[in-house]
Chains A and B, each alone.
Chain A
Amino acid sequence: MSSTSLAIKNITMQFGGIKAIDDLSFDVQDNQIYGLIGPNGAGKTTIFNIITGNYKPTSGDVEFQQETITETKPNLVVQKGIARTFQNIRLFKSMSVLDNILIGFHNHTSYSYLEAIFRFPRYFWQEKRIKDEAMMILDEFDLRKFADKKATDLSYGDQRKVEIARAIATKPSLLLLDEPAAGMNPSETEDLSNVIHKIKKDFDLTVLLIEHDMKFVNNMCDMVTVLDYGEKIFEGKPADAIVNEKVITAYLGDFTHA
């Protein structure tokens, strides 16, 4: 019996006169891969920004593990166990791949400045521990060989993986992926879906992802919610979504050709 990881409750988000999200509710169960799909401008990324505390919703609540987190500051949301990636990759560009991962461990070390400056043993133990853990995460993504490379020197597909690895380093229980397959070729996409399945199992994650690629969604997701102009037009199995009349209308010209 699984319990609810994330509950979106009657969220409405208004930007001036525009309703980006209109009374949206859905639940993500523990260990699900849940898809949030819909045409461009449907309000998917807005939902992510509300969950992570970057936006305050006009009304409604976000509950994570039965606790209301609406309007919690972004850094505190992360500490509760929610991590995200971005549609456009936002790595720390000229830092090394390893450093990009290590930064995710910031809250998982407890040494103080003085311990660092005067090089207390605890500083060394902890730095070594997180370095080992970071390497393990890189192994998971088959990225160890790039550890010392500058993040921007990697291929697009690998940069995406680094971004997901960095999110994993904050030790989340819920991972939000914003269009992880965007801009990838079919083999990279397939590689990515294998990686997501693998990390979900290995790190015991719940995944909420935004995606356009219906084939990818069909392969990945246990459940989907389809948004159009900020309203939920469908919730259910992905296989049922692609034959749903309303979904097809919303997407017409998009995935009917895909």
Chain B
Amino acid sequence: MDLSTFLQQLVNGISLGSMYALIAIGYTMVYGTLRLINFAHGDIMMVGAFLVYLAVAVGLPFPVAVLVAIAGSMAVGVMTDKIAYKPLRDAPKISLLITAIGISFFLENLFNVLFGGVPKAFPAPGYLTISFKLGDVILPLMVIVIPVITVLILGAVLWVLFKTKYGMAIRALAFDIPTVKLMGINADYIISIVFALGSALAAIGGIFYAISYPSIDPLMGVIVGLKAFAAAVLGGIGSVTGAVLGGFILGFTEIFVVALFPELGGYKDAFAFFFLILVLLFKPTGIMGKDLERGRF
């Protein structure tokens, strides 16, 4: 592999990794607070992409459509919590997990019924799909935009989590929900914030994904969601920085496996999970996961 191919694959890896990272943050935050693996989270990214499609179809300009889609996805995320998870707060965790899988199927099939299963072209505006040429390296604009926005968002999330009272409450929830209430804090409101934040990030990830691979279908969130989940586990589930790290590692691995062994290209998804298994064999708590004690972030 020559240098320009290497650089090309590097930027592709950063871009794909950013998308996994954005989605993985939502998995890790919900897990950190509620000890729930929110399997519906991957589908929120699909909801985000479809809402953009819908908003553009009714005539909204693209930037407005993106804002509408993010707000809509936040609402869907908060509502799944209020309707499906909140009544099960005191139930065994396995009930929550199975409910999450149910919500995931529900969302997939709802959008299948509403929009049909045939992939649709994503209406990305022309100014977002331009590319630059740097020597032999082709740089699509999104490949630069995606990592930059991801890093900004990560900074904001970490700031909120560690430097504000909201973040303090989110971290405290991971230890003991009744005690958080006894600090005069409305715990359900804080949990809604977690879902809203995670869903917004997933929607942004989904929109990026849809611009980069310009077609959307109701099942697009399944495999991407699973890989983002793998990224969160790889990085140490419960840790936000770990989720981002895991996302990038998985993104790079996937891109470079295909670049180095083109004949294995069909197995790139399998390789991501193989890598996950490998890491967990040696560090069962993931890269950033310190221990199995409650509450890490």
Contact = CB atoms under 8 A, between A and B. Distances in A.
Nearest to A112: B166
Contact of B183 (A86, A94, A106, A116): A106
Nearest to A176: B182
Interface string A92-130: 111100010011111101010100110000010001000
Interface stretch (B113-121, B127-135, B169-177, B210-218): B169-177
A75 B186 contact: yes
Contacts of A99: 168, 171
B232 to A, nearest CB: 20
Interface in B170-208: 171-172, 175-176, 178-187, 193
Interface residues of B, number: 28
A99 B193 CA distance: 20
B252 to A, nearest CB: 29
Contacts of A95: 168, 171-172, 175, 295
Interface stretch (B38-46, B87-95, B157-165): B157-165
B185 A75 contact: yes
B182 A93 contact: no
B293 interface: yes
Interface stretch (A62-70, A76-84, A189-197): A76-84
Given A74-B178, A78-B184, A93 B156 contact: no
Contacts of A105: 165
Contacts of A123: 164
Interface in B212-232: none
Given A75-B186, A170-B183, A113 B166 contact: yes
A90 interface: yes
A84 B160 CA distance: 28
A161 interface: no
B192 to A, nearest CB: 12
- 9 pairs of A and B residues whose beta carbons are closest in the complex: A78-B184, A74-B181, A116-B164, A92-B175, A75-B181, A107-B184, A92-B172, A90-B179, A106-B185
22 contacts: A75-B183, A75-B187, A78-B182, A79-B184, A83-B182, A90-B179, A92-B172, A92-B176, A92-B295, A94-B296, A95-B175, A95-B295, A103-B168, A103-B183, A104-B184, A109-B165, A113-B160, A113-B193, A116-B159, A117-B160, A123-B164, A170-B184
Interface of B: 156, 159-160, 163-166, 168-169, 171-172, 175-176, 178-187, 193, 293-296
Interface of A: 52, 54, 73-76, 78-79, 83-84, 86, 90, 92-95, 99, 102-107, 109, 111, 113, 116-117, 123, 127, 166, 169-170
